[in-house]
Structure 1
Amino acid sequence: MSDETTVTRNDARNRYELRLGDELIGRVDYRIDGDVMDMYHTEVDPAHGGNGYGNRLVAHAVADAADTGLMIRPTCPFIATYLDRHPEYADLRA
């Protein structure tokens, strides 16, 4: 198994997926309503917790939403905390 992580947006499942090699280890679930992406759930496999994977996943999801012109509704507490800690994304809050 590779130690390399990748994050991809899976529009068919309405989520961002974090993979470690071929293993799915995390996800951010979202809903899109107009120009707002509601990020309502973040999950990282507990076996991989404590390694910063959640922050890496959320950083990618937030940057991707910004790049595509979407505002973010952070109903997931983890996403809300991430945005609070990164004031450069304050203008993305819906």
Structure 2
Amino acid sequence: MAEYKLMLKANLDRREELEYDRHWRAFLQMAVQSPIGKGKSQRLRYSKFEKFYNRAKARKELDKLFNPKSESKTEEESRVEKIIKYKKRKRGDE
């Protein structure tokens, strides 16, 4: 299971890196083609790449997918645990 989680984390990091590269290319393309204003007051829509793509925020979102804050069990797992507890109580094990 640990190896699986490690492979999953590596895959998510790879995806994030690809997404970063795509956004970087889009930013450069956009920087050339989309000035705001007219005449002498022209400026770029995004002055910094970080305003266009917040890498830290994107990484946090991916980490939420990989490590949710409350690693709650699925509905089925919790139902099975409740049944097991009920049967133990009924037998008098607890």
Tell me the TM-score range normalised by the shorter chain.
under 0.3
Which of the pair is proportionally richer in helix?
2
Give the greater-gyration-radius structure (CA): 2
Question: Normalization by structure 1: what TM-score?
Answer: 0.25
